[in-house]
A = this chain, B = another copy of it.
Amino acid sequence: MSYTAETAAQGVQNVVRALEGRWKLVILFQLFGGQVRRFSDLERAIPGVSQKMLIQQLRQLEGDGVVARVVHHQVPPKVEYHLTEWGQSLCPALDALLIWAESAPPELRSRLVEVMRSHEPDA
């Protein structure tokens, strides 16, 4: 079977689904480039997210092999997250997305931002 754009799109879809979710990309951007963040860091760095959602999305990313979770058995508990090797290989794509996002037409950009502000506290 030849490797047409169509079969590629169908195949890639399965994997790309690992990125689907309201907070997945935001989390990944936080872990971008190999950064290590603990749970509370992520919670603080991502304004609109709830504890439940953050955990849920992290668990899914972990289950999909994109993010790794390290538990330090101490009191108080300390759990750190970072990209797996495969997750690291996603960085070029994240970077490309970053570039694309910044190239967004100003009107569009502000319109999209406006949607975001719905759930933000004040400013």
A residues with CB within 8 A of B = 5-6, 8-18, 20, 22, 25-26, 29-30, 32-33, 35, 45, 47, 64-65, 86, 89-90, 92-93, 95-105, 108-109, 112-113, 115-116
The number of times this chain is found in the oligomer is: 2
What are 19 A-B contacts with C-beta separation under 8 Å? A5-B33, A6-B45, A9-B45, A12-B97, A12-B98, A13-B25, A13-B26, A13-B29, A13-B116, A16-B97, A17-B112, A17-B115, A17-B116, A64-B108, A65-B108, A86-B103, A86-B105, A89-B100, A93-B96
Known: A65-B105, A105-B86, A108-B65. A98 touches B8 (CB 8 A): yes
Distance A8 CA – B102 CA, assembled complex (angstroms): 9
Q: Tell me which residues across on chain B come within 8 A of A9, comparing CB atoms.
A: 26, 29-30, 32, 45
